[in-house]
Amino acid sequence: MKKLIVMSLLSFIIFISAFSFDILVNTSYSFTLDATVQTSSGIPSAYDRSQKLNYTGIRVSYLIPTEDSKEILYGPYIGFFYNLFDKQTGSYPQLNADVKDISYSMGLNVVYTSKLFQSINFDVCAYGGVHTDDNFKTYSTEILMSGGFNWDFLFINAGYDIRYYYVNKNNTIAVNSIPITVGVSFKF
């Protein structure tokens, strides 16, 4: 066991020393715009729009630059979120009894950064992956696009997020929201 740990640690050190990379840490709060239930027939049905599926959380990305441009970074991310759903009266938690307060996400992150003025940059950040709200029993799609500014290592973005929430094998809830994001980037 010790040999495996030592070999894993050595491999990780060699890997990170061979590549320049960034660690991007984004915290966000997401405001629900609207939500619709998608049925297996593809016909959206009415959903109680007064029910908000807001969340707050953090995404951590390991980013490496592309070979042709240092303006574009890409890599995997993991996320941890606190769901701000009303479990007593909320429609989604009542439809899916397995929903937990904490959810997780993982996928691919791509960041494009372009210099505007001195140390002020414009950036576009895209996340695409899956999230789970029921401790890894089911996985649903999440897509987030945001744009904003960064100063040296600090990011401030706003964007558009669509998340699908699993209800049962015949129904999902599509939620459109606006995330406000503040993050930091560590360059190595």
Mean pLDDT on 128-154: 91
Helix (H) or strand (E) segment spanning residue 16: helix 2-18
Q: What residues make up the domain containing 82?
A: 20-187
In a domain, 6, yes or no: no
Confidence of residue 14 (pLDDT cuts 50, 70, 90): low
pLDDT score of 32: 84
Number of structural domains (the chain) is: 1
Residue 108, C-beta contacts closer than 8 angstroms, at least 6 positions apart: 74, 75, 76, 77, 127, 128, 129
In a domain, 10, yes or no: no
Range of weakest confidence among 12-16, 135-139, 159-163: 12-16
In a domain, 4, yes or no: no
| pLDDT tens by residue, 70-116 | 889 999 999 999 988 766 555 566 667 777 888 999 999 999 999 98
In a domain, 161, yes or no: yes
Helix (H) or strand (E) segment spanning residue 148: strand 140-151
In a domain, 115, yes or no: yes
> With 90 as the cut, is the pLDDT of residue 57 above it?
yes
pLDDT score of 122: 94
> With 70 as the cut, is the pLDDT of residue 31 above it?
yes
In a domain, 3, yes or no: no
CB-count burial class (<10 Å; 0-12, 13-18, 19+) for 71: middle
pLDDT score of 81: 93
Residue 39 sits in a domain whose CATH number is 2.40.160.20
Mean pLDDT on 142-152: 92
In a domain, 39, yes or no: yes
What pTM did the predictor assign?
Answer: 0.80
> With 60 as the cut, is the pLDDT of residue 155 above it?
yes
pLDDT score of 169: 77
pLDDT score of 172: 81
In a domain, 1, yes or no: no
